[in-house]
Structure 1
Amino acid sequence: MVKVLILDTTKKLPAAVLDEFLEESFDDLVMYGENLDAIHVTAPEREEKITGRLDDEDQLVQAMTGVDYVFLDTSDASILNHVLHAIKQAQGPKLIYASAVGIYDEVPGKFGEWLKEHRGEEFLNQMKQLTDTVEQSGVTYTILRLPPTYTNSMNDNYQARTRNQQFMFTQVSREAVGRAITQIVRDQRGEYDNLNIALGEPGSEGDAPIFDPSRA
């Protein structure tokens, strides 16, 4: 049985990842973060809640005991470094890290321009630096570069693109990201180890996301 630690679980993307694991797997799950009162344990035999800070490496290491995978969604360099240090101390977990598309100028045309305008070149540069940090950290990782995400329980479709491929999809559902992560965790061959891929929703090619990012 695989054990997955979902950091900062109350955020929208980690919460969707948690829901996908609960629905589509029998894996053991650890929910970690502050203010977890809103999260209800529905399967105590496989779910555990740990209240802790993302900058507390001692707590993080304890939460990583027996964990196979750690999922992290952050644009904070300090938090990322604390998590990476804790993973090294825990000696074992693999990191699944949510990054952003557009950090390699892999998004052409009007959507590439939209990303630079709406996400900002400063943010994209920051996410590239954090992604570089993960790749150079020495931990085993899978990087998921994402376009704007939204919630759609009826659509968990996605396609993956490698780091060197152009990326044309303007959005992806959080449920699709969760589905991708459950598939990564199921892999027993190391196919996703040290892989950097982008996820997008088929049919969403265009100049901008179909949904309204301000309401997502």
Structure 2
Amino acid sequence: MKILILGAAGQIARMLRNELINKTDHSIVLYARNGHKRLTVNDDNKEVIFDGDFKDKSKLNDTMKDVDLVYINDMGDEKSTKAIIDAMHDAGVRRVIAASVLGIYDEVPGAFGKWNKRMIGGSPRMHSQIESARILENSNLYYTLLRLTWLYNENGNTKYMITQKGEPFIGAQVTRQAVTQLIMDIIEEKSDKFLQSSLGVSEPDTDWAKPSFY
């Protein structure tokens, strides 16, 4: 499989790249702004780097050649999301996994939901996340949308739980390592289990009023 990682310089994207290189035979296209300055090819047989902006549809079209799956590391700009989806349609690429944030459906209940709204609920970036999710869900692509709770790093902690769209979101935090593991599990899933789904992603047993690091 050939996998395109958009936003390849991000933390989760870098972890995903390492997992794919070390544990699979998939080839990888790494796409990032100033990508050649921020990234280095570790395996010439499996990796290639493209410099580009998410809004640059012609450059995106160049990266899509023979791609089987796209991972979008950030959906915080709806114009970028539309350009990516348009490029996928042009190239005939149908499978996409995209990282978003919790709260886009007002699905976070209780004290944590109130805290989350105070922190990010009214921000322009949240509006963009909401609109990006709407565009993706109406795109006719085989999508998996990941609504990530508050992120932190902890090596070796790959525990995650998921909730479905329409269910209350539970869990105040999750490691980037766990999100990476989930993405790997989705990529390697042979069934339609994760297709056309919007998944809330959190760490088990973190049903708290706010993340532990706040």
Whether the TM-score (by the shorter chain) exceeds 0.5 is: yes
Out of 144, 147, 153, the residue aligned to residue 145 of structure 1 is 147
> Who is 2:24 aligned against?
25
Q: 1:39 and 1:151 mapped to 2: Cα distance?
A: 20
Helix, strand or coil at the partner of 2:29:
strand
The offset of 1:132, in angstroms, is 1.1
Helix, strand or coil at the partner of 1:161:
strand
> Who is 1:112 aligned against?
113
Q: 2:75·2:99 contact (CA, 8 Å) conserved in 1?
A: yes
Q: 1:153 and 1:30 mapped to 2: Cα distance?
A: 25
CA deviation profile, 1:7-62 (whole Å, cap 9, x unmatched): 12112232232233234333211101122223222222211111222222121112
> Who is 1:207 aligned against?
209
Greater CA drift, 36-45 or 60-69:
36-45
Aligned length: 211
Q: 1:155 and 1:46 mapped to 2: Cα distance?
A: 27
Aligned residue runs from structure 1 range 2-81, under 5 A: 2-36=1-35, 37-72=37-72, 73-81=74-82
Following TM superposition, the consecutive aligned residue runs of length 4 or more in structure 1 with deviations greater than 6 angstroms are none
The offset of 1:5, in angstroms, is 0.6
Q: 1:20 and 1:172 mapped to 2: Cα distance?
A: 18
Scaled by the length of structure 2, what TM-score is found? 0.91
Q: 1:146·1:199 contact (CA, 8 Å) conserved in 2?
A: yes
Q: Which amino acid aligns with 1:28?
A: S
CA deviation profile, 1:107-140 (whole Å, cap 9, x unmatched): 1111101110111334434322221111011222
> Who is 2:164 aligned against?
162
Q: 2:54·2:83 contact (CA, 8 Å) conserved in 1?
A: yes
Q: 1:167 and 1:28 mapped to 2: Cα distance?
A: 34
Q: 2:149 and 2:18 mapped to 1: Cα distance?
A: 20
Q: Which amino acid aligns with 2:28?
A: L
CA 1:150–1:19: 2 relative to 1, 3 Å: farther
Q: 1:103 and 1:143 mapped to 2: Cα distance?
A: 11
Helix, strand or coil at the partner of 1:83:
helix
Q: 1:17·1:174 contact (CA, 8 Å) conserved in 2?
A: no
Structure 1 unaligned regions, length at least 5: none
Q: Which amino acid aligns with 1:45?
A: N
CA deviation profile, 1:68-121 (whole Å, cap 9, x unmatched): 111111210111111010000010241111111112222111110111011133
Out of 131, 134, 151, the residue aligned to residue 133 of structure 2 is 131
CA deviation profile, 1:132-178 (whole Å, cap 9, x unmatched): 11101122211011111122222111011111221220111111111
Scaled by the length of structure 1, what TM-score is found? 0.91
Q: 1:28 and 1:152 mapped to 2: Cα distance?
A: 27
